[in-house]
Structure 1
Amino acid sequence: MSANGPPAGSNEFWLFGYGSLIWKPPPHFDRRIEGWVTDYVRRFWQVCVSHSEDHRGTPEAPGRVVTLIERSFWEQLTDHHGSAPHKVWGVAYLIRPDKVDEVKEYLDIREINGYTIHYTLFHPAASVDPALLPRSGPIKALAYIGTPDNEQFVGPQDPQRLAEHIYHSRGPSGLNREYLWELEKALEELSPESGDEHVTDLSNRVRAVAAQDGENGSKSSQTPVNVDTSAEQPIHHDFRQIKSIDEQEETEKTS
């Protein structure tokens, strides 16, 4: 569930990272805090396309990256991974006030393909030093989310087919499986309870494919396999796509 815009009269800009932002932070951050959001489910259901810093495929065989799906919508779907943790763990970054505009521009470029901005409530982990927090309670943070109405959203997929697709995909930013394994590692390092069954299962499946192929994941597949994606049709939902932070804030003011 998206929270309304940033706190009134506040110049704070907090950014929530639930994918590559966990281990590839934005520039000019002042603080990095572990924690979680609720009411969402993390899934590898977003196509990774060109111009993204996490481009892990080709236009002919795009890779997969994570997005967040509103839990109320996810519960209506038939997902092969039928359970999901109540908390979606990640990190929140506080951006330096004098660099907010620069970072927003950077993020708009990094997350532009299929992702739109949303505000959500971030809950700091109990282990976070209170001196690092601006106030008690949750923090209003911005997150880039690939909603089901964007053309890069593919929806539920068979885990084994998805794992094979991730294993064989590569792009300008590297191997798609490296993105998956980096995310698994980053989540494990956040907290004893920050693991994600969806991510772990895919990681194990990809490791099994790599073992069968005689690889350990450190080398690229010389001949990428074109995985049939004809059954992966975009799922449409009545989310409204927001193209800029200003538009998001104006929409929330009038809603």
Structure 2
Amino acid sequence: MSSAVCSDPDDKLPEPACGYPPSLGEARLLSDEELAASLASTLEHWDGASDLWLFGYGSLIWNPGMPAAETIHARVRGYHRGLYLWSRVNRGTPEQPGLVLALDRGGSCTGVAFRLDGANAMPHLQALWRREMMMGSYRPAWLPCWLADGRRVPALAFIMRRDVPTYTGKLPDAVVKAVFGCARGRYGTTLDYVSRTVDALRKSGMPDRALEALLRRCAEE
């Protein structure tokens, strides 16, 4: 653990080192009304009965939190997976933010597609919005998704917004190492989050070589 950036919660926070911790300003949670409006806008063209597809590229792979009528390996193009989002609650704190995965422009991304039963989807989508959209850091979008069996379906995915303070851009290894050594939120550490995602992708036969290499470089023994 890097003593240059980590501190006991009761101690005065140290000066930022290697760009960490970042200055993110005040966080604002979306209201119930804003979440409902976002969900309604995303589902504008849904008939309320047809099945829906959801694309998981991070924790949804190993913790979907909802039943699926079908689960299958899949790929989206035009976006790639990376640690692009500062987490001030789930995997870190406002004083020592963690990192979580997001889709950013360029490349492609393998993951898992979940088919949700349309007749029972709404409660699960509402819970998903509270899980993923509370901070307003993602842009929900319907992406063309290629399933492992050759089908192409529109799938709901959460894309990183570049216009929010929590967007990290490309981080140097020194910052990622500091986060791995320090950041812990209500759901645990960033290091555990990344490790579980790497493990789930490898066990599914879809290893993310770049994420694995980052974990090897930045995780302290």
Distance in 2 (alpha carbons) for counterparts of 1:41 and 1:102: 29
Aligned to 2:83: 44
Share of identical aligned residues, percent?
27
Tell me which residue corresponds to 1:64: 99
Q: State the Cα RMSD in Å.
A: 2.1
Q: Tell whether the 8 Å contact from 1:122 to 1:140 is kept in structure 2 after alignment.
A: yes
Match of 1:88 in 2: 109
* Equivalent residue number for residue 111 of structure 1: 132
Shift in alpha-carbon separation, 1:170–1:8, aligned structure 2, 3 A: closer
Q: Contact 1:28–1:95 (CA<8 Å) still a contact in 2?
A: yes
Shift of 1:104: 1.3
Describe how 1:1-255 pairs up with structure 2 within 5 A.
11-50=50-89, 55-71=90-106, 86-112=107-133, 113=135, 114-126=137-149, 137-191=151-205, 194-207=206-219, 209=220, 211=221
Within 2, Cα distance between the matches of 1:24 and 1:167?
A: 23
Q: CA deviation at 1:167?
A: 2.8
- Number of aligned positions between the proteins: 177
Flag the 1:99–1:49 CA change in 2: closer, same or farther, 3 A.
farther
| SS of match in other structure, 1:148 | coil
CA distance in 1, matches of 2:161, 2:204: 25
Whole-Å separation in 2 of the counterparts to 1:175 and 1:169: 6
Which blocks of at least 5 consecutive residues in structure 1 are unaligned? 72-85, 127-135, 212-255
Residues 99-119 of structure 1 show CA distances to partners (whole Å, capped at 9, x for unaligned) of 211011101100012122111
The two structures have a TM-score, normalised by structure 2, of 0.73
- Where do 5+ consecutive residues of structure 2 fail to align? 1-41
Specify whether residues 31 and 162 from structure 1 end up closer, same or farther in structure 2 by C-alpha distance, changes over 3 A only: same
Q: CA deviation at 1:206?
A: 3.4
CA distance in 1, matches of 2:65, 2:44: 19
